């Protein structure tokens, strides 16, 4: 099993979805401590990456992550807004219509009401080029989940898990 120590990340080691950091992400906005994965899980050919990230890569990931933490308040606002918009576009016709869902409407009519359905993060992946993926257990669609891809702390894609 590949592993190494890093001054910021602590023990970086091969894990179930790539290389994980020795530190975790914790935020009052979300339900639990979250594993941080560093780099992609698979290469261009679809093979698992088994080479531990270099010190240069780990330092670049650290910079990306620190900028993420420095701007977390703004990022959370964007996440709330964009995921609520996605809910209205893809899910509201079902969950707000008793004849379609067979249940009372959820009455999700604000970003705050919607946010409670996306507070369980599966994990965060820190990538090259100032990119981050956040994989969320979406309580309204647990089959597909919710994945956000950020670049320079801007949301550039939202989809089901493994769709961004």
- The domain spans of the chain are 3-159
Of all residues in the chain, what percent are helix, strand and coil, respectively (each to 5)? 30, 30, 40
Confidence (pTM)? 0.94
Reference 87, options 78, 96, 98; nearest CA is: 96
Per-residue pLDDT of the chain (164 residues; tens, 9 = 90+): 678 999 999 999 999 999 999 999 999 999 999 999 999 999 889 899 989 999 999 999 999 999 999 999 999 999 999 999 999 999 999 999 999 999 999 999 999 999 999 999 999 999 999 999 999 999 999 999 999 999 999 999 999 988 87
In our burial notation (b when 16+ CB lie closer than 10 A, e otherwise), range 74-95 reads ebeeebbeebbebbeeebbeeb
Amino acid 127: pLDDT: 97
CA distances from 10 to 89, 98, 103 (A): 41, 50, 47
Amino acid 1: pLDDT: 63
Amino acid 2: pLDDT: 79
Amino acid 164: pLDDT: 75
CA-to-CA distance for 76 and 53, rounded, in angstroms? 28
């Amino acid at each position: 099993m590949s592993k190494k120590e890093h001054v910021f990340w602590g023990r970086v080691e091969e894990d179930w979805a790539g290389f994980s950091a020795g530190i975790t992400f914790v935020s009052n906005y979300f339900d639990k401590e979250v594993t941080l994965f560093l780099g992609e899980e698979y290469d261009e050919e679809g093979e698992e990456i088994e080479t531990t990230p270099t010190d240069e890569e780990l330092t670049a990931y650290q910079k990306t992550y620190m900028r993420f933490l420095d701007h977390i308040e703004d990022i959370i606002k964007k996440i709330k807004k964009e995921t609520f918009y996605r809910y209205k576009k893809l899910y509201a016709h079902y969950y707000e219509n008793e004849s379609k869902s067979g249940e009372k409407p959820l009455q999700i009519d604000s970003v705050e009401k919607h946010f409670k359905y996306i507070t369980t993060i599966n994990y965060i992946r820190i990538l090259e080029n100032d990119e981050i993926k956040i994989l969320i257990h979406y309580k309204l669609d647990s089959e597909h989940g919710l994945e956000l891809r950020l670049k320079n702390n801007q949301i550039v894609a939202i989809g089901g898990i493994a769709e961004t």
